[in-house]
Structure 1
């Protein structure tokens, strides 16, 4: 047993001497040994400076001042990692066996620069010559160099920079990051936190098979991102190029707050388009920055959409989408945030008093560029409800063009386009063609006019500028035409006014109506209204104040068979607000015509009395002027004959 004790004592003495020698070795010498080992395992330079505190067993490590870890040879000149201070520890026993088991890396105020170029990531390590992402691990395996693992990584107050093909994709500061990969067969876990407007963004990332991922093949990825206002969940595959394919689920309790957290502060989301949103589908992301969503289901406030979309990540994003909706409610589109969709405030004005003066928030026009096609059973917008419609929305730098292919409105079809432009202040315009429109529904909805009913077609061009409904309506300019078939004007009974029977119960039934108009500064002018009826025609001209919501219009019906077939006109002036206009027919000409008819009747009676008296005197019947003339002539002949006989002395 003495020899065994001597051997043990000798080994302890040797180990003690080795440890003592190491403790007596200068820190820079030990740092050089460690950096040489790191270079041998990774092919990169690790530079340590400042005071170096060492540990040896079971963890070979040090705490140092400023440190840099070099980038890949093909990447930029900036180091992959730099920090004000760092603590590094590796498993001494594993290092002796040829493996690099990193026990800890703790860095203060580090900058981590990740670069990707042509499928290569600077986080891939090699020891001699560069290798492609597809055979990085296999090349290391062939060199029989062991494995690299990471027990614990912690970066405090870090700056994260991601560069893809020489273009900076993101640059985040004030990031806290931790990661661990304790075994080759274990998952890699990464947690990160970053300060953003409104709070923090937190990321939990899990790669179950890091070695497979390192070879460049698509490997499983689980990602959960929590941000102020919502979260993003992804479960699928990822490769070294950052390309992803899998299930995506986005849930936003406050979309505006979530957008602000990602650098889109101040963007207002219209109510009905996702102030509160949930989107799910199958996502594919390519290295070119294109996101494709298939089998997509989007719940935007109370509206549900299905379809597919392609998004190019840019500023702003470029979107191409085909969406299908049921009954969509955008009727509270401009409702202020946080008020449950109820507009209001001192600036709001009821429809009966005038157009709303509440400022219109059109910032949503800047959210994206692209083309979105939407089909829906119905679409309710403020004061309007469209029926089954096929719409295409083109977005380009805060300018939206809505193409109707067609849209169903007021029981008719509407084709053409409407434009909203918010590049230099808000303006709206359009060029529309309508067919089969229910006039009573249209006029009562748009202008509080309920007296005219019928089915019409026409065209309408318009342009308005302003930041509220009131400003836009008072600035309107444009032109148009209206053609209506058989219809009714309630409140005016031309048959009764013209004395043509019992009338139509306080209404006028017409066979056709045509009119053209121009608009300037919110005032519509018409000079050629023509209405055709069975016994009448009616002409009209005047103005309609679209901005002021009033009317001053002269409507002139003409009884075609009155006045011995010469016609009789009765002007009707419509004056006042849309909600309660005054209708005042001018009866003076009717009275004049009636008086003229009575005079003729009296003249006829007097003439007949004269004829009767003359007939009695002449002793013959006299019925008209001609018979009177003959009777008088005959009487004169008889009297002359009697006078001649007396003169000649005859009996």
Structure 2
């Protein structure tokens, strides 16, 4: 903002030159004298074209034609200032006393160009050719090289300011400016107001600077400022200075559409996901802006989209990318966008693969938006694929790699500790080293894999790694190991006891259930396929062992459970019947390996199974075996009878 006031001060300097000429010479000489005085004071050529004449009504002063000020000799972008004209009012009382006091300056349609070279030199830095007048108004002051002046009212009508920073490449265009400045005393407070458009978006500012001359010199001064940028607003009350840039005070900001706001200032849009400020950022608290660009907030209230939190933290830009070090205390956090992919089945690149996992590219660019270390306490966190309860964690972000240390996490009725890493430096990869106790598996597996058949609490340890740019690729690349132990629970959709008692495979589907006391297993995963050979299963009426493969990438299963139905109260005897479970998760098929049936009731079991098979065959063929006749003999007899009937028809 200081450069805008410097531009206004430059106009006032022209007015002083014109005012001094007015009291000494006829109006025909005013332009010539004003141009010479300005060039002597600034080292820049001033050109006034058209008529310059005195006005006596309604106000004593000067009116000019078009005005132009030359730019620095290193600039190639045209004049520093050009305007359609000036209207300058002079205090007649001061003039009678022998002093020149400019009471009003109106600048008509000025175009002001402010630019800074790569070495930091600004085109507003002047090199006077001669000493200025000894009058008070022309004496250098604390205004950073700008001569002291006072002004009852200064106006800009339909002006524009273009700012070009060669070092950063920043280019700003403030157009349609209507501004005013009231400065009764150069060293005192200044009241300012401004409306215009910054790179095409509406801008409005209003406030008070406590010590104008000190502010122009870059010093921090008492400041009360209200700023509106398009649909965003910023209010600040405290102290503010520009050399170096520094501030301290109470800040209230409501930033709508941060991407559009960044575009207003010629900056690339921050690629923030929903929940981390994609749509709105609101902040309130005590802030300190340091000379090195660091920003501290204490007692802060921060809202990112719909996520509200209390915060104490520091923001810096040491690496050119924002870095946040903060302590955050939040309620319910919705960060589901971090783990969300396109809806399945939507077709094309954002659809599903044959397995059902989404093939939509994962957008993890948000991990590269900032660095930092954030200690987080939250009542709950929605991560999209998983949902957490009360959480204490630390998140470290470094150049696209996020490390989440879970110190105290409640999830799915249990507790989780460990570490999760997401890495977007080259492609995308994720790893997890976790220990969980008392986790309810039905809601967890439902969220992760849409699998709802296992209802039990579990203790689990896993060490997993996956890489890929889609959900499907991650699941196909999954590797790692782990072990688990389930307490009492149920396996929905499968009644193992009923199957063993009746040797009937129809004990599956809705309403079927196997109650168990304990399940333990360990596993290894390679290329998205889980292998296990030590599953043990204990239930009131049976025990079982299991082994096989779970193809996580393909969402399919090839597993054999070998249960033994207990024959007596001592737990001995019974029948062992291997049960095969195969097929896709959504449509599993169950089978019995009859050849492998064993146990002290095996003959009876095989006989029962054969009787069931014979009855089914007889039903299909429409035969009724006679006493002592086997199903096979009855079938042969039936075939002979049908053949004889066919021959008779042929001969007839």
- Structure 2-normalised TM-score? 0.69
CA distance in 2, matches of 1:596, 1:495: 19
- Change in Cα spacing, 1:430 to 1:89, as seen in structure 2 (3 Å) is same
2:638 matched residue in structure 1: none
The answer on whether the counterparts of 1:464 and 1:477 sit within 8 Å (CA) in structure 2 is no
Cα distance change, pair 19–490 in 1 and its aligned pair in 2 (3 A) = closer
Distance 1:357 1:156, change over 3 A: same
Question: Do the aligned partners of 2:114 and 2:123 also contact (CA within 8 Å) in 1?
Answer: no
1:285 equivalenced with 2:286 (yes/no): no
The SS at the match of 1:441 is helix
Does residue 188 of the first structure (1) align with residue 191 of the second (2)? yes
The alpha-carbon deviation at position 238 of structure 1 amounts to 1.5
Match of residue 173 from structure 1: 173
| Equivalent residues in 2 for 1:188-337, closer than 5 Å | 188-191=191-194, 193-196=196-199, 199-211=200-212, 213-214=214-215, 218-241=220-243, 242-263=245-266, 267-274=270-277, 275-313=279-317, 315-331=320-336
Measure the CA separation in 2 of the matches of 1:352 and 1:179.
67
Aligned-residue offset at 1:554: 1.4
Distance 1:345 1:494 in 2: 38
1:578 counterpart residue number: 585
Q: How does 1:99-138 map to 2 (within 5 A)?
A: 99=101, 103-106=105-108, 108-113=110-115
Q: Tell me, yes or no, if structure 1 residue 526 matches structure 2 residue 532.
A: yes
- Alpha-carbon distance in structure 1 between the residues aligned to 2:221 and 2:476: 61
Is residue 2:87 matched to residue 1:82? no
Return closer, same or farther for 1:391/1:247 CA change in 2, 3 Å cut-off. Answer: same
Q: Calculate the aligned-residue CA RMSD, in Å.
A: 4.8
Tell me if structure 2 keeps the 8 A contact 1:571–1:586: yes
Aligned residues: 549
1:530–1:539 contact (8 Å) kept in structure 2: yes
Q: Which residue of 2 aligns with 1:470?
A: 472
Please show how residues 316-465 of structure 1 align to structure 2 within 5 Å. Answer: 316-331=321-336, 345-346=346-347, 354-447=356-449, 448-451=451-454, 453-465=456-468
> Residues 228 and 416 (structure 1 numbering): CA distance in 2 closer, same or farther, change over 3 Å?
farther
> Do the aligned residues in 1 keep the contact of 2:30 with 2:52 (CA within 8 Å)?
no
Structure 1 unpaired stretches of 5+: 1-17, 131-135, 600-651
Aligned partners of 1:80 and 1:281: how far apart in 2? 43
Decide whether aligned partners of structure 1 residues 324 and 123 sit closer, same or farther in structure 2, where only a CA change above 3 A counts: farther
Q: Describe the superposition over 1:262-302 as per-residue Cα deviations: whole angstroms up to 9, x where unpaired.
A: 44556554333342443322222122111222222233343
In structure 2, do the counterparts of structure 1 residues 193 and 425 end up closer, same or farther at CA, with 3 Å as the change threshold?
farther
Q: Secondary structure, in 3 states, of the residue corresponding to 1:579?
A: helix
2 CA distance for matches of 1:344 and 1:231? Answer: 42
Deviation at 1:387, TM superposition (A): 0.9
After superposition, give the CA deviation of every residue in 1:381-434 in whole Å (9 maximum; x if it has no partner). Answer: 324321111122222333333221232222222222323333343333333232
- Whose radius of gyration is greater, 1 or 2? 1
Q: What is the DSSP-based 3-state SS (H/G/I as helix, E as strand, rest coil) of the residue aligned with 1:97?
A: coil
Alignment of 1:42-81 (within 5 A): 44-49=42-47, 51=49, 53-57=51-55, 58-60=60-62, 62-64=64-66, 66-68=68-70
Match of 1:159 among 162, 165, 169: 162
Q: Distance in 1 between matches of 2:165 and 2:424?
A: 34
Q: In 2, are the aligned partners of 1:99 and 1:146 still within 8 Å (CA)? A: no
Judge conservation of contact 2:421–2:432 (CA < 8 Å) in 1.
Answer: yes
Separation (CA, whole Å) in 1 of partners of 2:32 and 2:458: 94
Question: 1 CA distance for matches of 2:558 and 2:404?
Answer: 33
Consecutive unaligned residues of structure 2, counting only runs of 5 or more, are 1-21, 133-137, 607-652
Residue pair 2:260, 2:269 contacting (<8 A) in 1 also? no
Q: TM-score, normalised by structure 1?
A: 0.70
Q: Report the CA distance between 1:517 and its aligned residue.
A: 1.7
User: C-alpha displacement at 1:317, in angstroms?
Assistant: 1.7
